[in-house]
Amino acid sequence: MTNTHVEVWDRCLTIIKDNINERKYKTWFDPIIPVKLESEILTIQVPNKYFYEWLEEHYLSLLRKCIVTELGTKARLEYIILLDNKNQFSNSTEQQQTTIDSDQIKNPFIIPGIRKVKIDSGLNPKYTFAKLIEGDCNRLARSAGKAISDNPGKTAFNPLFVYGGVGIGKTHLAHSIGNQIKTQHPKNNVMYITTDRFTNQIINAIKKGTIDDLLSYYQHIDTLILDDVQFLAGRAKTQEILFNLFNRLHQSGKQIILTSDRAPKDLANMEDRLISRFKWGLSADIQPPTFETRMAIVQDKLEEDLDKIPFNVLEYVCHNVVNNIRELEGVMISLIAQSTLNLKKIDIDLAKDIIRRYVVSADKEVALEKIKKLVAEHYKVSVEKIQSSTRKREVVIARQLSMYFAKHFTNKSLKSIGDDFGGKDHSTVIYSLKAVQDMMDTDEVFKNQVTEIERKVQMSIGSGY
């Protein structure tokens, strides 16, 4: 019987076909290419390291049976694994070869000759657990993060899905976990990446035809931190690739950490199968901090400047800036700047003035004006028309959508929102909110438009902390 490498492998495939279903066969054995046969050693080529790992984990006994049947008891199988060894993505690959002796496999995930790829973590070293004040608002998420830091990938909190409003500590917590893992487990490859940057990587990989290289690169990551996953909404290809990457990392015992401005169940324009993965581990929300926690945060942040601000002013600010830690810090910095640069006395009156200008205008009025402006630009109408009583269809839709975002992104009451749109009563606002939701439920194009405008609004107002 002729024993070329192709013929031997073809006969092995005949045995394999009899032992697994067609879908698994096409997924895991069709892509394999027989390369050469020397004595009792058959060499095959597989697409990447993950592919090799899967074969060794799930089909090792079947492969051993085939090779021994065809080449005898001394038969061995060698792999050629295509892998991009550079810390970047390109069309060029280097072939790495490793010999796998079926009688000696102890840990199929260690491949001699493939060096560890160095990962740029993207972590901000300033964000640590020591600087993340614990309170009722974040105790669950913070405790889960500490547990993950001790044993990444080995707790029930995989993935950890942290969600909450703007500026209350999600990003700080995510970086803290990553930095703590790097300290306690130096060999653990940690990567922090925003959803926007992840999407851009995928777009570039698609253009260059290097998606497999991108996925192979991510296989080297032990802890993946993906920030602001709500921005995945409407990005079908990115969701598909993240789904596959999520499965690969999770099955390999890698740690996954996700942040979002809303709970998994509230994510719009997201594949159900991806949302189900987000729910596998622990979903932990972070609430706006209590007064006591706000006081502790401010005192910790001010450090040497703490003695410059009277205690009654600290209390006043913490009582009146309640929803956003970043704003709270901004007010304190403004107070110190006014005192240092303009020689103003730091008192309650100065605090009131700064809060009125910095918080009320920045958080509510400016946010609402940005919403109106972004929606007006999308529909090519003026802000003045949105606030008018005209019934032209494009203006009506723009007005209703602006009210919808105002309800979602500001703390304004329905009456206050109506007042900001030409004195509409609260029933008109309620009708507008329902009209937008109904259109999103029935019109996929409109739903995608809303998602895109919402993303611009979020980026304009700001996210993370």
Residues 165 and 44 in one domain: no
Residue 258, domain CATH: 3.40.50.300
Q: Looking at the structure, do residues 256 and 274 belong to the same domain, yes or no?
A: yes
**306 and 276, same structural domain?**
no
The pLDDT of residue 227 is 93
* Domain presence at residue 218: yes
pLDDT of residue 429: 87
Q: Is residue 86 domain-shared with residue 162, that is, in the same domain?
A: no
Task: Flag whether pLDDT at 113 surpasses 50.
Answer: no
171/257 same-domain check: yes
Is residue 445 a part of any domain in this protein? yes
Are 146 and 274 within one domain?
yes
Cα separation of 354 and 335, whole Å? 8
Distance CA 207, CA 201 (A): 10
In terms of pLDDT, which residue wins out, 142 or 212? 142
The model's pLDDT over 444-464, given as tens digits with 9 standing for 90+, comes to: 888 888 888 887 877 665 543
SS3 234: coil
The pLDDT of residue 359: 66
DSSP 101: -
For residue range 394-407, what is the model confidence (pLDDT) as tens digits? 899 999 999 988 88
Q: Tell whether 328 and 380 lie within a shared domain.
A: no
Helix H or strand E encompassing 260 = strand 255-260
The fraction of the chain above a pLDDT of 70, given in percent, is 88
Residue 403, H or E segment: helix 393-409
Instruction: Answer yes or no: is pLDDT of 354 > 80.
Output: yes
Between 462 and 167, where is the model more confident?
A: 167
Q: What is the arrangement of strands in the sheet containing 94-100, beginning at the earlier edge strand?
A: 33-38, 41-46, 76-83, 94-100
Asked which of 235, 264, 286 is the last residue of a domain, the reply is 286
142 and 270: one domain? yes
Does the structure show a pLDDT above 70 at 115? no
Sorted by sequence, the CB contacts under 8 Å of residue 93 that are 6+ apart come out as 82, 83, 84, 213
Q: Which segment of 15-24, 89-98, 201-210, 291-300 scores lowest on mean pLDDT? A: 89-98
Q: What average pLDDT score do residues 221-232 get?
A: 92
Distances (CA, A) of 223 to 121, 158, 159, 219, 255: 10, 10, 10, 10, 5
- List the beta strands (DSSP E) in 148-217: 160-164, 190-194
Q: How many domains does the chain have?
A: 4
pLDDT, mean of residues 214-240: 89
Q: Identify how many contiguous H helices and E strands the chain contains and give both numbers.
A: 20, 9
Residue 361 lies in a domain: no
Higher pLDDT, 102 or 68: 68
The pLDDT confidence band at residue 94, using thresholds 50, 70 and 90, is very low
Asked if pLDDT for residue 107 goes beyond 50, the answer is: no
> Are 140 and 280 in the same domain?
yes
Residue 386 lies in a domain: yes
β-bridge pairing 190-194 and 41-46 = unpaired
Does residue 55 fall inside a structural domain? yes
Based on the fold, state whether residues 266 and 161 are members of the same structural domain.
yes
pLDDT value at residue 91: 31
Candidate from 90-99, 369-378, 432-441 with smallest mean pLDDT: 90-99
Domain assignment present for 360: no
Domain assignment of residue 109, yes or no: no
Q: Is residue 352 in a domain?
A: no
Residue 437 is part of which domain span? 368-461
Q: What is the mean pLDDT of the chain?
A: 81
Same domain, 227 and 265: yes
**What secondary structure letter does DSSP report for 364?**
I
Residue partners of 452: CB distance under 8 A and separation at least 6: 234
- CATH number of the domain residue 447 falls in: 1.10.1750.10
What pLDDT is stored for residue 2 in this prediction? 54
- CATH number of the CATH domain containing 48: 3.30.300.180
Beta carbons within 10 angstroms of residue 428's beta carbon? 18
| Amino acid type, 33 | I
Token code pair at residue 46: 């597989």
> Taking 80 as the threshold, does the pLDDT of residue 117 lie above it?
no
The residue length of the chain stands at: 465
324 or 176: which leads in pLDDT: 176
pLDDT of residue 54: 80
Which tens digits make up the pLDDT trace of 268-277?
Answer: 888 889 999 9
Confidence grade of residue 173 (pLDDT, cut at 50, 70, 90):
very high
- pLDDT reading at 381 higher than 60: yes
Residue 336 sits in the same domain as residue 399: no
Confidence of residue 121 (pLDDT cuts 50, 70, 90): confident
Range 128-135 contact pairs with CB under 8 angstroms and sequence separation of 24 or more? 128/175, 128/176, 128/179, 128/180, 129/176, 129/180, 131/172, 131/176, 131/300, 132/169, 132/172, 132/173, 132/176, 133/289, 133/293, 133/296, 133/297, 133/300, 135/289, 135/290, 135/292, 135/293, 135/296
